[in-house]
Structure 1
């Protein structure tokens, strides 16, 4: 791997750990300091993903029009400033739930732009044949942060309080932005002859949804995020309230998901080399509903806790195996001038599915019970697995 990729990877690692700190700290801040209701917590959870649903396609056009490194640096520094406002407002007793939701929404908009540029910048750093390996290494980092981040967050929130723990994430974005600013990677931008927004949007949508492989890959990915968000939303209430496990035990099950992701990402490159891109992606999509099967059968016993841990580990393993080849394939086959629009289109609609799926899971659980809602999510995940198995994706072996 190149030195430029090593710096890019380091910047991503720093900001990811900080992100998991903020995820926990925001929830504690809303519940303990601002006395948020369950509905308000749901709104707060959906807030950072709303911009993906509303403006995701526009972000793709922006990224394809300009050099990506300055966008990454600017978005990192701007996110640091937004997060820094949270403890500042708290210190002057001016922080409210509406202002917190507004700040988190702005943060989500900046993350939207960053994510579109981030995924489109990686092909500039490594050759096409190394994209799966590079994505696997970054997936390992994400999985490790998912395992370690919540534990660090718990300690920081207890030591300095939730508002000021968020400063850690703000600092992490400053560090990430400064590291990215040191990259010296040539970026040649070929702007369109005319800045026709509708035409540029149409080009991105056409590339994704009329491509024989990208189209089923994208549509089933949207379905995966919709039904997975139903399960993950209900899972927290099911484990904590219905089964009566404490916060440490809940965190333990989630940490096992990170461990599974690390292992899956570690094996992903070798499995992809042996089986090919398509079969590994299909395998990963099946592992999610299969991994979740033990969850509705869990009870409040030690055996129940083991079932939950096994389910999260299997889920994480599937994501770790699937994500690198899926991202590597998308990046390798997409022309550079469409990278931003391709990534933003797929990622934005994926995140938009969370905005729909999370409240839908809550409604289903309230109306029919947690186990029924989880079964509904599993059924939907099995449906997307069947769909991608019957699609041309399964026949893809190489990126040529």
Structure 2
């Protein structure tokens, strides 16, 4: 990766883009701790209500995802990314402002997160489609790995920082920090040097045909289709698991916010290791095989989480905490190894004029299933208990791994720099 990293530093615009992504990742990592603590301990939500609030962030992908993808391919992506970042900062700021005036409740929180989700649909479609316009395609794996390294560093420091901030200044003020990060993100993106051509606009754009083209490309491609289905299952399981784990950890196990943040931070440390190894693994074993191996690690991690929270639980708190740290470390390594390879594979096989639609199609389905998972995880925990909910989560992770393993992904390779 050394030669690619040196070349990447010479790419105009990448440093500002990378800095923006890093700032945003640190803010989001703080909110990853602050939002569950706010909902569970400040607003005293039930597990089902926790699922509803989590789902509020994902529902916009179901409602607007496919349409947004079609429009992203019609406009310059940099301005879309700037204004979506400003909007996300404002929507998150509603939470601490409402809290300060004594107006914060579950519905205000869910509404703010829903608006945040709407703007995230635009922002993520734009950012994932803008990178290939900044970085030459042979350098995409190195670029995505660099961004993932920053994200992993944020997930290492952010949750611990979030836990400390929640303890010192309360959850709403910790969320205010994430809001501020999006304003900084917008300023940094504005500094990105990229020569974006203005997409040709038809006299009478056909939205339905544009959406259909994105769906056809994503689910008709020999490698993108199984990758998409496997990733959809992953999001379903991960959202359900996150909802159940937050309720179990903060309420049943009564973990302090600092400890809860530290458990998530371990995943960030492990993810940093995984992202560092991702380009080398993708080059040596192939992007597809690296993704498949990572998908196989998730059910192992979640089976361990089930043991830690249900079997060991409060009777053996020290052993339970140790197992949780180990399980989230496994999950972090897997995420770090696969994400850069998956994103680079998607960006490499997709033509530029379809990138917005492909990314929005994938993300729309991913987040739709995440909404189902968040609500379903909370409902299943309420009806059948945390143990059964975590068993179901583990089974869905197994299904995601099987779909990837029994597909042409086994032979997927990325074209490397210099080839």
Q: Which TM-score applies when normalising by structure 1?
A: 0.93
After TM superposition, the structure 1 stretch with the greater mean CA deviation from structure 2, 77-86 or 389-398, is 77-86
Partner of 1:217: 227
Distance 2:251 2:95 in 1: 29
The number of residues matched between the two structures is 400
Matched, 1:79 2:88: yes
Q: 1:270-314 CA distances to partner (integer Å, 9 max, x unpaired)?
A: 111111111111111111112323233331423332222111111
Partner of 2:52: 43
* Counterpart mapping for 1:126-145 below 5 A: 126-145=135-154
Q: 1:102-122 CA distances to partner (integer Å, 9 max, x unpaired)?
A: 122111100110000010011
Cα offset, 1:157, TM superposition: 3.1
Of 211, 220, 223, which residue of structure 2 is paired with 1:201? 211
Partner of 1:358: 374
Matched, 1:109 2:118: yes
Matched, 1:190 2:199: yes
Partner of 2:363: 347
After TM superposition, the structure 1 stretch with the greater mean CA deviation from structure 2, 107-116 or 253-262, is 253-262
Partner of 2:35: 26
Partner of 2:64: 55
Matched, 1:397 2:413: yes
Cα offset, 1:68, TM superposition: 0.3
Runs of 5+ unmatched residues, structure 2: 1-7
Cα offset, 1:241, TM superposition: 4.3
Of 97, 103, 124, which residue of structure 1 is paired with 2:106? 97
Q: 1:307-344 CA distances to partner (integer Å, 9 max, x unpaired)?
A: 22111111111111011011001001111111100001
Cα offset, 1:244, TM superposition: 5.2
Partner of 2:386: 370
Cα offset, 1:375, TM superposition: 1.8
SS in 1 for 2:73: helix
Report the CA distance shift for 1:329/1:117 in structure 2 as closer, same or farther (over 3 A): same
Matched, 1:283 2:293: yes
Distance 2:55 2:135 in 1: 34
Question: Could you tell me whether the CA contact under 8 Å between 2:40 and 2:250 is conserved in 1?
Answer: no
Report the CA distance shift for 1:372/1:34 in structure 2 as closer, same or farther (over 3 A): closer
Distance 1:246 1:92 in 2: 27
Matched, 1:266 2:276: yes
Partner of 2:22: 13
Question: Could you tell me whether the CA contact under 8 Å between 2:142 and 2:279 is conserved in 1?
Answer: yes
Cα offset, 1:369, TM superposition: 2.9
SS in 1 for 2:66: helix
Cα offset, 1:175, TM superposition: 1.1
SS in 2 for 1:65: coil
Q: 1:240-274 CA distances to partner (integer Å, 9 max, x unpaired)?
A: 44455444443332222111111111100011111
Report the CA distance shift for 1:372/1:305 in structure 2 as closer, same or farther (over 3 A): same
Question: Could you tell me whether the CA contact under 8 Å between 1:333 and 1:399 is conserved in 2?
Answer: no
Cα offset, 1:374, TM superposition: 1.4
Report the CA distance shift for 1:245/1:102 in structure 2 as closer, same or farther (over 3 A): closer
SS in 1 for 2:13: helix
Question: Could you tell me whether the CA contact under 8 Å between 1:329 and 1:399 is conserved in 2?
Answer: no
Partner of 1:147: 156
Q: Which TM-score applies when normalising by structure 2?
A: 0.89
Distance 2:280 2:252 in 1: 40
